[in-house]
Amino acid sequence: MRIDEEHQDVLQNIEFAVAHIYRRNPEMTDYPVLRTYEALVHAYSAEVTGRMPKPVELEGLEAELLRDVKRMCEWRLGRGDIEAPQDEAPECDPIDLPTLVLCLKRLVKSVNKWNKHGGRQGYLNFMTQFVK
């Protein structure tokens, strides 16, 4: 089974964090999203292999994206909480690091595909149709 079929919920959770920021910043392009996903692929891949991740210095919107997407990733790993009204706090089974890395790599491919088809905001415009 493909990663996007088996872990669609994980992909949607991560994209939810991005969509939330995009809706507040409609001028945002796909580029900071791509940089965020790639930075997290490198960081979590390093963790899988026991290496130290390269430091990533992002500012402004990219730093906000990295913080929120990483928070969602950590929640899916079972290592953190997300902010939600108490009666709406979702529950899920944690995933492992290799699965998270595969999910993030799939999102990188998606950004590249939809950016190529739809331009500077192709991925964001496509993705936000499905993520509320």
pLDDT of residue 91: 75
For the chain, the domain total comes to 1
pLDDT of residue 132: 78
Average pLDDT of the segment spanning 88-98:
80
Average pLDDT of the segment spanning 10-25:
96
Tokens of residue 29, six digits: 């392009």
Return the SS3 of 27: coil
Average pLDDT of the segment spanning 99-108:
97
Per the CB < 8 A criterion, the answer to whether 20 and 111 are in contact is: no
**Has residue 132 been placed in a domain?**
no
**Has residue 112 been placed in a domain?**
yes
Judged against a pLDDT cut of 80, whether residue 27 lies above it is answered with yes
Pairwise pLDDT comparison (20 vs 86), residue with the higher score: 20
pLDDT of residue 88: 55
Provide the H-helix boundaries in the chain: 3-6, 8-24, 30-49, 60-76, 97-118, 122-127
**Has residue 54 been placed in a domain?**
yes
Average pLDDT of the segment spanning 4-25:
94
By residue count, the chain amounts to 132
**Has residue 74 been placed in a domain?**
yes
Number of CB atoms found within 10 A of residue 78's CB = 11
Tokens of residue 45, six digits: 């891949």
State how far the Cα of 13 lies from the Cα of 76, in Å rounded to an integer. Answer: 8
Expressed as residue numbers, the domain containing 28 is 3-127
Average pLDDT of the segment spanning 97-119:
97
Judged against a pLDDT cut of 60, whether residue 84 lies above it is answered with no
**Has residue 25 been placed in a domain?**
yes
